[in-house]
Amino acid sequence: MFIEQVYKYQHDFWRYLIGVIAVVFGIIIGQIPLTIVLLKEAGFEVMNMTETDMMQALDSNLFLFLMLLTYAVGLGFLFFIVKKLHEQPLIALTTSRKKIDWSRFWFAFGLVAIFIILTTVGDYISNPDDFLWNFKLKPFLILLVISVVLIPVQTSFEEYFFRGYLMQGIGVMVKNRWVPLVVSSVIFGGLHFFNPEVTKLGNTIMIYYIGTGFMLGIMALMDEGLELSLGFHAANNLLTALIVTADWTAFQTHSILKDVSEPSAGWDVLIPVLVVYPIYLIIFAKKYHWNNWKERLFGKAERPELLNVSEES
């Protein structure tokens, strides 16, 4: 199974500690190009800049490219650590299946893409005054290339690190499934605390980020792999970057539309977590015949031979 298979590889606590430090170091290394460009444009004032200030100091396409480059470097460090320090193949970080099931990735990607497109079109038709037409061909084509190439890298880093590396590492340490689900989800959501959306909407938006972490973690545990969460996350960020931007979001892009409405952290935060996400989980559960939810989410994560002995007794 997705967590239990890690027992076949090098899974000592100190290896995961070094691994996390190495990945954080990789992220810092990846930020060097962005820092150099910002220093050139804004001098040492960059030290006092918020993320919004940084985005406004550069062309949005350039900022997006440099920001996403950070995750590409981080992903490279993560894959290196997994292969060399843990002697674990990439497929074992991705799935418990014998090979990566790309049909799962594309199903999740398509489902989320269709939902985002339909809801955005519906919102635009219902509230046209909330949007400005932001489309400019050349900047949009550059955005399209950057987004298609690098946004899946960014989302893959987050999935492989939080739902893969941390979930597997914590799972074999505590020998259960619910603790890695909770810890990885809270850390994932908590790291979004510094996003511009939190400044604009307040701490209530953290319900959405942490709730998203829980949903992606549940998908990984129930499906015994990352394929669904990889597709879900890639579609969400990619379509968001291409279709709608706003002055207060983490992705300020040359998108098709610009949202100029005054946002609020009310039902807009709760509906995705309490209504939309459960619907996604029901769809995935029906399609992939998920069962035994209690065991998969709250069961033990012991060595496979120990699990077999326990089942026989």
Span 154-175, pLDDT tens digits: 999 999 999 999 999 999 999 9
pLDDT in tens, 71-128: 999 999 999 999 999 999 999 999 999 999 999 999 999 999 999 999 999 999 999 9
Confidence of residue 251 (pLDDT cuts 50, 70, 90): confident
Which residues, at least 6 apart from 311, have a Cβ–Cβ distance to it below 8 Å?
none
Q: Helices 178-190 and 206-223 sit at what angle, rounded to 10 degrees?
A: 140
Q: What proportion of the chain, given as a percentage, has pLDDT over 70? A: 92
pLDDT value for 241? 94
Burial label, 55 (beta-carbon count in 10 A; 0-12, 13-18, 19+): buried
How sure is the predictor about 306, in pLDDT bands with cuts at 50, 70 and 90? low
Q: Could you give the count of Cα atoms lying within 13 Å of 91 in the half-sphere of its Cβ?
A: 7
Against a cut of 0.75, is the pTM above it? Answer: yes
**pLDDT category of residue 311 using cuts at 50, 70 and 90:** very low
Residue 197 · residue 276 · CB < 8 Å: no
Q: Can you give the pLDDT at residue 52? A: 65
Q: Which two tokens stand for residue 202?
A: 């307040």
For residue 311, count other CB atoms closer than 10 A to its CB.
Answer: 7
d(CA 220, CA 87): 22
- Gyration radius of the chain over CA positions: 20
- Among 1-5, 114-118, 161-165, 262-266, the minimum mean pLDDT is found in 262-266
- Confidence category of residue 312, pLDDT binned at 50, 70, 90: very low
Task: Determine how β-strand 244-245 pairs with β-strand 257-259.
Answer: parallel
Give the pLDDT of residue 309. 42
State the residue for tokens 């040492």.
44
Q: Which of 129-133, 185-189, 192-196 has the lowest mean pLDDT?
A: 192-196
Q: Is the pLDDT of residue 313 over 50?
A: no
pLDDT at 195: 81
154 or 249, higher pLDDT = 154
For 7-22, what is the mean pLDDT? Answer: 96
β-sheet bridge partners, residue 176:
300
- The pLDDT value given to residue 51: 66
Q: What average pLDDT does range 267-284 have in this prediction?
A: 91
- Check: CB of residue 224 under 8 Å from CB of residue 96: yes
